[in-house]
Amino acid sequence: MLIDARKLPQDETLETEVCIVGSGPAGITLARELAGTDFRVILLETGGLNFDRNTQSLTLGESVNNHFETLESQRCFQFGGTANFWKIRLGNNVIGVRYAPLDKIDFEKRDWLPYSGWPFDKSHLDPFYKRAHQLCQLGTFSYDAQDWEEAQTPCLPFSGNVTTNMFQFGPRAVFTHDSREVIQQARNITTYLNASLVEIETDETATNVTRLRVACLSGKEFWVRAKFTILATGGIEAARLLLLSNKVQTTGLGNQNDLVGRFFMDHSLVHGGKLIPNNPQIFHKTALYDLRRVNNIPVMGKLTLTEECMRHQKLLNVSTLMFPIPKLHQLKAANSLKTLLLSIHKPQVRQDILKHLKNIVFGLDYILPAAYGAIIKQEPFIPSLAWSGWSYIPDKERRFAGFTLLQIAEQVPDPENRITLTGDRDRLGRQRVKLHWRWNEIDIEHINRTQDILRQEIALAGIGELLERDGNLPKLIHPGLHHHMGTTRMHDDPKQGVVDRNCQVHGISNLFIASSSVFPTGGFANPTLTIVALAMRLADHIKNIMAVN
């Protein structure tokens, strides 16, 4: 059942066994796993079924000392959460997202990575990863390249330090549409839309949640009493809600050791260099590294360092994606065309219009066939993270001149990268958040060393030349990919983590967190598959508790 919370009576108190706060992938997974049980579940969602600018204004915050986009562009308060922002074209008018599990090494305590180590290893989570595959509509639980390569699409011939493994892709409709129908039909679940959690109230010792204060932008307020509360609100909002709930524990719930909001991590997107191939026929032999369907499953190959190399060289985890690019003058032409189409009304663009038109004219040899392919055949104009499928273009060796390498990098957990509250307040009276983020020397060093290894391996394999970077700093394309992690990190010791291995907030008997905010480290993999797996694991834990009680 879906209910608009704005229609509830003022100060109504709702009673339930489980209250899930947030309807992104974590909250939706929990609701689906608890559907059909013999206890009641309430699902609270700040937004509605459709995007609303007034609701989205609740995501506003401040970002300092970094190059992050505005915080409202990184989060979505709407049923389905940030899944509504996913935009990778999977073909057949399907939009989706990239999936991969964390690697075995990501769970380990690494002596070269401060604050690393999960309370369990990857093998413990593998059964939940397999279940997550079914929900996310993925293929077999295998990311080894040999299970996806074919005679015409082999792996690149690296040896020693570099290997190929895979990403899989799944449709966003799983979370934005399909699950809504499942949850709506579940008799034991009631979803309240336009309902924002304002405060978590506890008993006088802050060891038990007593009720939740919930508000609507219309001015309506109501209460929820639940035996168990689960925050499934993402890496920023989970920390914010704990910090806001400070009537009894003045530093915020779960924050007795000043850990809530700290260790913020994201996946930095880094330019990995330009690969000039020795033979143009390479564009016909690298289809494994394009987004393409194998056994009707969208997959894409990526380059990584082997775990042996990472351990020996004491390096962070980084993945490298390959996207073909045209010649320099053609690339300038494509960028000029894009600039004119998107920004023609900006004065600074009008001043440069002759320069852009000149670039376009000199690059018509690329623009004309690329535009035809994009409009008529749905081929990528310029292959990118969001739009690939270049391996299906018949004249690849004439269209492209090289590859640009994009790297998704693990970030070191740093207690000074954190979420705090500001003096500004949103329309519900809650303090807004401030993100403090910096790119550490260890992050830069590890990316540089990884690029050096990759350059050597490309040369040894006879593939081509990876051009040297400019200067000592790798080129940071973006500090994050909206993968907010670490702010309520998991650790069995309450002095080192906010939640325990069961995602229960230390010291509070009935408060849990389902979010990438519990990740102690983040690897390079998009966090969604791990979020879904952890949510399934938490749902099993809640069901076991309810069975005993």
SS (H, E, C) 368-429: HHHHHHHHHCCCCCCCCCCCCCHHHCCCHHHHCCEEEEEEEECCCCCCCCEEEEEEEECCCC
Q: How far is CA 26 from CA 21, 206, 292, 399, 536, in A?
A: 10, 25, 27, 42, 9
Chain centroid to CA 8: 34
Mean pLDDT of the chain: 93
Q: Using only C-alpha atoms, what is the Rg of the chain?
A: 24
pLDDT digits (tens, 9 = 90+) for 114-166: 999 999 999 999 999 999 999 999 999 999 999 999 888 999 999 889 999 99
347 pLDDT band (50/70/90 cuts)? low
Does residue 430 carry a pLDDT above 80?
A: yes
pLDDT value at 104 more than 60: yes
Q: Is the pLDDT of residue 280 over 60?
A: yes
Dihedral of the alpha carbons of 232, 235, 238, 242, in degrees to the nearest 10: 150
pLDDT beyond 70 at 93:
yes
Whole-Å CA distances, 337 to 323, 330, 360, 399:
20, 11, 6, 17
Q: Under the phi-then-psi rule, with left for phi > 0, alpha for psi from -120 to 50, and beta for the rest, what region is 186? A: beta
pTM assigned to the model: 0.95
What is the distance between the alpha carbons of residues 365 and 329, in angstroms, rounded to a whole number?
A: 10
Phi-psi region of 378 (alpha: psi -120 to 50; beta: other; left: phi over 0): left
Bridge partners for 228 per DSSP: 18
**Of the candidate ranges 352-366, 375-389, 522-536, the one whose mean pLDDT is the lowest:** 352-366
Report which of 42, 68, 43, 53 is spatially closest to residue 175, judged by C-alpha positions: 43
**What is the predicted pLDDT for the residue at 471?**
66
pLDDT in tens, 217-240: 999 999 999 999 999 999 999 999
Least confident of 330-334, 405-409, 430-434: 330-334
Name the E strands within 128-220: 162-171, 189-193, 196-202, 209-215
469 C-beta neighbours (distance < 10 Å), count: 19
> What tokens does 428 get?
């519900």
Percentage above 70 pLDDT, the chain: 97
Percent of the chain at pLDDT above 90?
81
Q: What distance in Å separates the CA atoms of residue 45 and residue 519, rounded to the nearest whole number?
A: 23
Is pLDDT at 251 greater than 60 in this prediction?
Answer: yes
What pLDDT is recorded for position 479?
87
Name all domains of the chain by residue range, CATH numbers in brackets: 2-144+170-264+413-440+482-548 (3.50.50.60)
When pLDDT is cut at 50, 70 and 90, the band that residue 346 belongs to is: low
Above 60 in pLDDT, residue 350? Answer: no
- 139 token code pair: 């293929």
Q: Is the pLDDT of residue 399 over 60?
A: yes
